[in-house]
Chain A
Amino acid sequence: MKFGSMFSDVLPSLFSSPMTELYPFERREPPARLRALLHWDPEQCTGCGLCVMDCPAQALEILTLDRKAKRFVVTFHLDRCTFCSQCTYSCRQGSLSLSNEGWEVAALSREPLTFVWGEAEDVRRVLAGELPAEGTPPQAT
């Protein structure tokens, strides 16, 4: 039976600096395997849509403009993503990957958190609302 058994921890702490990292003044490097922002490689994508089906948060949408010519527009909703990385494993071509950066995802509105990837002209049309974010439009221009 003793009193103050934590004393051996408490006394040295008086003379050492706190364990707390004062973010944002002290930032730690993210570990290599951290699951953060998604990246899409258009070269590998075949538009199969497995990633869209398997995403538990419905954060991905794919618009197929021309399947043979591999023209797709992928819309990624970062505010819905749970960083589970299932999409990277559902994709058989390896066109999706989660980098370890971009984990500071605070924003003041939803616009910065919606990513639209594809050819520049197609992206502009999707953002302007001329094209839907997903599906296969009948006319392929």
Chain B
Amino acid sequence: MDVALDLLRLLIFPAGLTLLLLGLIYEWVDRKLLAQFQNRVGPRWFQPLADVVKLLAKEEVLPHGVNRWLFIGLPVIGLAGPLTAALYIPMAGLQPSDSFTGDLIVAVYLLSLLTLTMGLAGSNAIGRFSIIGATRTLTQLFSYEAPFLLALLGPALVAGSWQISEIIGSAGGRWLLLTQPVGFVVALIGLMGKLELPPFDAPEAETEIVAGALTEYSGRGLALFRIGRNVAMVVGLTLIAALYMGGIANPLAFVAKTLGLLLIVAALQAVLARLRIDQTVGLWWRYGALLVLLQWAVIIVARGGVS
């Protein structure tokens, strides 16, 4: 019975199928909001689903000279990462399925597993665009990862624990984005960097390197990477909402808070131009890291001040 319940939780709800569906819905909301900001119509509600179905139906072309198992296996691992990360966060407003000390770090690591596999997949293929895209993906990974992680650890520091459910519990419904605004901003923009959304889409700059690391992918592999990206978006938004916006008590709050964050993310996408990869690295290592360290300094001083 327990095993059946676990399987249900893993495969259908809240992880698994529901998460995949949520990923598609959130991708649609993101594209529709971006279109609305640009004064145009945008895709219809079934567009992401249609994209996935079409890609799965297409032939997967294996480029010449790649390692076959890596080529086929990396998208699967890339999708598995965010799906597993979803087990530790309060998906859809329910309690996290699994919870243990340090699961915040594990969740963030699993999210970056997606970026790592994309970088590896790009290096695997021997096309020039893939290699440049892979280099840029990994360079960007090294630039935003540290500030992003530190920003997410800000609430952890306040709560004195590295377990997501405990952090939410100790916040007690308080909105930490009010007391740690800088951390919130860095976390949100770091999420945009992780998902390679504009202005941080240099790794997949369409006008320079076609599709970056995923240039040689088609069919099933591309579909899995795209679904992985969507799931990572949902998971990332839930994580930030849970940590900074006072936890997620019920499905309605889940929808409201994550969509609110998505609105801000879409607005930032519309309003900012793409940065070059060296400018991205410079931005994160100068301003990102500085801001988050400043935030940490404030937190430590505040905590030291209070008992």
* Residues of chain B lying within 8 A (CB to CB) of residue A7: 267, 271
Q: Mark A86-119, 1 if CB is under 8 A from B, else 0.
A: 0000000000000000000000000000000000
Q: Mark B243-284, 1 if CB is under 8 A from A, else 0.
A: 000000000000000000000000100111000000000000
Is B270 within 8 A of A18, CB to CB? no
Is B267 within 8 A of A20, CB to CB? no
Shortest beta-carbon distance, B38 to chain A, in Å?
Answer: 7
- Which residue of the partner chain A has the closest CB to B39? A13
Q: Hey, which bits of chain A sit against chain B, CB under 8 A?
A: 3-4, 6-7, 9-11, 13-14, 16, 18-20, 22
* Residues of chain B lying within 8 A (CB to CB) of residue A16: 39
Is B271 within 8 A of A6, CB to CB? yes
22 chain-A/chain-B pairs, Cβ below 8 angstroms? A3-B271, A3-B272, A4-B271, A4-B272, A6-B270, A6-B271, A7-B267, A7-B271, A10-B37, A10-B270, A11-B267, A13-B36, A13-B38, A13-B39, A14-B36, A16-B39, A18-B35, A18-B40, A18-B42, A19-B40, A20-B40, A20-B41
Shortest beta-carbon distance, A114 to chain B, in Å?
Answer: 37
* Residues of chain B lying within 8 A (CB to CB) of residue A19: 39-40
Cα(A43)–Cα(B41), bound, Å? 49
Q: How many A-B residue pairs have CB under 8 A?
A: 34
Instruction: Give the residue among B33, B271, B272 with the most A Cβ atoms within 10 A.
Output: B271
- Main SS at interface, chain A: loop
- Which residue of the partner chain A has the closest CB to B270? A10
Contacts A3-B271, A14-B37 given; 18 further ones with Cβ under 8 A? A4-B271, A4-B272, A6-B271, A9-B39, A10-B267, A10-B270, A11-B267, A14-B33, A14-B36, A16-B39, A18-B35, A18-B36, A18-B40, A18-B41, A18-B42, A19-B39, A19-B40, A22-B41
* Residues of chain A lying within 8 A (CB to CB) of residue B33: 14
**B38-56, CB < 8 A from A:** 38-42
* Residues of chain B lying within 8 A (CB to CB) of residue A14: 33, 36-37
| Complex A-B, nearest 5 residue pairs according to Cβ-Cβ distance, in ascending order | A4-B271, A13-B39, A10-B37, A18-B41, A20-B41
Q: Mark B221-260, 1 if CB is under 8 A from A, else 0.
A: 0000000000000000000000000000000000000000
Cα(A13)–Cα(B41), bound, Å? 11
Shortest beta-carbon distance, A2 to chain B, in Å?
Answer: 11
* Residues of chain B lying within 8 A (CB to CB) of residue A20: 40-41
Cα(A22)–Cα(B159), bound, Å? 53
Shortest beta-carbon distance, B268 to chain A, in Å?
Answer: 8
Cα(A14)–Cα(B270), bound, Å? 11
Is A13 within 8 A of B37, CB to CB? yes
* Residues of chain B lying within 8 A (CB to CB) of residue A13: 36-39
- Which residue of the partner chain A has the closest CB to B269? A10
**B3-42, CB < 8 A from A:** 33, 35-42
Is A18 within 8 A of B272, CB to CB? no
* Residues of chain A lying within 8 A (CB to CB) of residue B37: 10, 13-14
Cα(A10)–Cα(B269), bound, Å? 11
* Residues of chain A lying within 8 A (CB to CB) of residue B270: 6, 10
Shortest beta-carbon distance, A71 to chain B, in Å?
Answer: 53
